[in-house]
Amino acid sequence: MAVGVFDSGLGGLTVLDALHRRLPDVPFVYYGDNANTPYGTRAADDIFNLTCAGVERLWEEGCDLVILACNTASAAALRRIQETWVPEGKRVLGVFVPLIEALTERQWGDNSPPREVAVKHVALFATPATVQSRAFQRELAFRAIGVDVEAQPCGGLVDAIEQGDMILAEALVHSHVEALHRRMPRPQAAVLGCTHYPLMEDVFRAALGPDVAVYSQPELVAASLEDYLARHPELIGPGTEPGYLTTGDPVAVGQKATLFLRRKLPFRAA
């Protein structure tokens, strides 16, 4: 009954942590492509190939359903994966849709035409690859009209977080928020479009101010997956054991993961 969680680095651990809390009886197998992180500056074909390799490894672990807990992979590769690559009986889902459903106040599976929503001005903070893909705007357009999205590529932020340099990460957040404000002085909502960014959520909130609603992914994704599994129990795979896989050095990755989650995770080589 295992479910796979794919990430390009360590940011997906924020989603995994929320999944564990929401679905404690589901064994999750986590795959971090730490040898190739970050994905945010890679070409789309490169992201697609790396993501497919990780998803296939999770299938080998008995995970028929895989969550891409990486916004860059979700933005640059998910649609192509779903349309051209996933075999029958398998599913690969991303992390954008639960976020957009919350932003637009639409329920999962609501396929009615796009309509006007309360939020008109949205700031998107994401990696350069996610911004370039315009996947967020595309998915939003399926559900809402009249929403102005200003996207801010947050170069360097993932690297700083992965390296544990939170002083640099905080400075980068302020710099990126200032750059966004020059183009959109008064956003109503801000989307943290990278699974690393919840670790800096308090800094984003402080820089944006109390009048901006901040949307972060971990809890939203966990609630959405709980609903999805209730409706599609057949997609819970045959795997029974949780696990933590990495393409990097398991010891080094495990040490970094401990800083993220404040508990030890037994990583093994993918």
Q: Are residues 181 and 205 in the same domain?
A: yes
The values of phi and psi at residue 26, to 5°, are -95, 125
Which residues contact residue 87 at a Cβ distance below 8 angstroms, ignoring those fewer than 6 apart? none
- CA nearest 199: which of 216, 219, 223? 216
Q: How many domains does the chain have?
A: 2
To the query of whether residue 70 is one of the catalytic residues in this protein, the response is yes
Q: Are residues 10 and 32 in the same domain?
A: yes
In the predicted model, is pLDDT for residue 108 greater than 90? no
pLDDT band at 254 (very low <50, low <70, confident <90, very high): very high
What integer is the mean pLDDT of 62-78? Answer: 93
Q: Are residues 107 and 175 in the same domain?
A: yes
Q: For residue 178, how many other CB atoms are within 10 A of its CB?
A: 11
To the query of whether residue 63 is one of the catalytic residues in this protein, the response is no
What integer is the mean pLDDT of 231-244? Answer: 85
What integer is the mean pLDDT of 190-202? Answer: 94
Q: Are residues 160 and 180 in the same domain?
A: yes
Which residues contact residue 231 at a Cβ distance below 8 angstroms, ignoring those fewer than 6 apart? none
Q: Are residues 209 and 234 in the same domain?
A: no
pLDDT band at 235 (very low <50, low <70, confident <90, very high): confident
Q: Among residues of the chain, what percentage have pLDDT more than 70?
A: 99
Cα–Cα distance, 154 to 137 (Å, whole number): 17
What integer is the mean pLDDT of 19-42? Answer: 93
In the predicted model, is pLDDT for residue 97 greater than 80? yes
Q: Which of 52, 63, 70, 154 is catalytic?
A: 70
Q: Are residues 180 and 111 in the same domain?
A: yes
pLDDT of residue 8: 92
Domain with 42 in it: what CATH number? 3.40.50.1860
Burial class (CB in 10 A: 0-12, 13-18, 19+), 229: middle
Q: Are residues 133 and 169 in the same domain?
A: yes
Q: Are residues 132 and 209 in the same domain?
A: yes
Cα–Cα distance, 141 to 135 (Å, whole number): 10
What integer is the mean pLDDT of 3-8? Answer: 96
Q: Are residues 101 and 211 in the same domain?
A: yes
pLDDT band at 144 (very low <50, low <70, confident <90, very high): very high
Q: Are residues 62 and 196 in the same domain?
A: no
Q: Which of 52, 63, 154, 194 is catalytic?
A: 194
Cα–Cα distance, 243 to 158 (Å, whole number): 24
Q: Are residues 108 and 170 in the same domain?
A: yes
Domain that holds residue 51: 3-94+218-269
**Which of 215, 242, 260 is the last residue in one of the domains?**
215
